Chains A and B, each alone.
Chain A
């Protein structure tokens, strides 16, 4: 079965702190895709990143970075020098191969960045 676990329900940090959001996934497929989405209070999901199972290179985009480790089935997300505007719920999601287009979401981590 496909499953995504985000063990951190809520995280609260002070502005400029670095914060890492954890994501652990389960799938038997060898081809799969991992995603991170941001959901601000407005509700609209914002796509952050897509990573396929064959690409374990870490990625950095501005203050955001992602660490994909197949050995531990993890796809963690780090925000460096957090800002108040980063406050949102962040979802990790999994889409697996075999023609499936479904996304399975984790339960989300609510990040609050305090000034």
Chain B
């Protein structure tokens, strides 16, 4: 139980294009989902907190217009990287809060984005 999926697992796109990443909680409802970014050999940095049916809360320094987050249902949140540039290349990980005990954060497998 408490499985979180991400799609796609990896994506290569050209500079200037937009990329959408999906995060789904497969067997539980997640009122809150989180998006993290991880550069190679570095730690996870929280980008934003996403609550179902409301606007996401972004961390300081994260551009809202560049990283669009939509949490349309209790099992799906999407992150769209708009007008991607090479510096946006990173490993994006989502997590969903919920599961059997209600408080755990379960992490997706991550999406590796490469912008050429």
Contacts and interface: CB of A to CB of B under 8 A. Distances in A.
Interface of A: 37, 42-45, 47, 50, 91, 101-108
Nearest to A50: B104
Using C-beta atoms within 8 Å of the partner chain, give the interface range for chain B. 20 to 34
7 contacts: A37-B107, A43-B112, A103-B34, A103-B44, A106-B43, A107-B42, A108-B42
B89 interface: no
Interface of B: 32, 34, 42-46, 49, 91, 93, 95, 97, 104-110, 112
Given A44-B107, A44-B110, A47-B104, A101 B32 contact: yes
Given A101-B32, A101-B97, A47 B106 contact: yes
B43 A45 contact: no
Contacts of A45: 44, 93, 95, 107
Given A44-B107, A50-B104, A101 B43 contact: no
A32 B106 CA distance: 18
Nearest to A44: B109
A103 B109 contact: no
Contacts of A108: 42-43
Contacts of B97: 101
Given A44-B107, A45-B107, 6 more contacts: A42-B109, A47-B105, A101-B34, A101-B49, A102-B49, A103-B46
Given A50-B104, A101-B49, A103-B105, A43 B43 contact: no
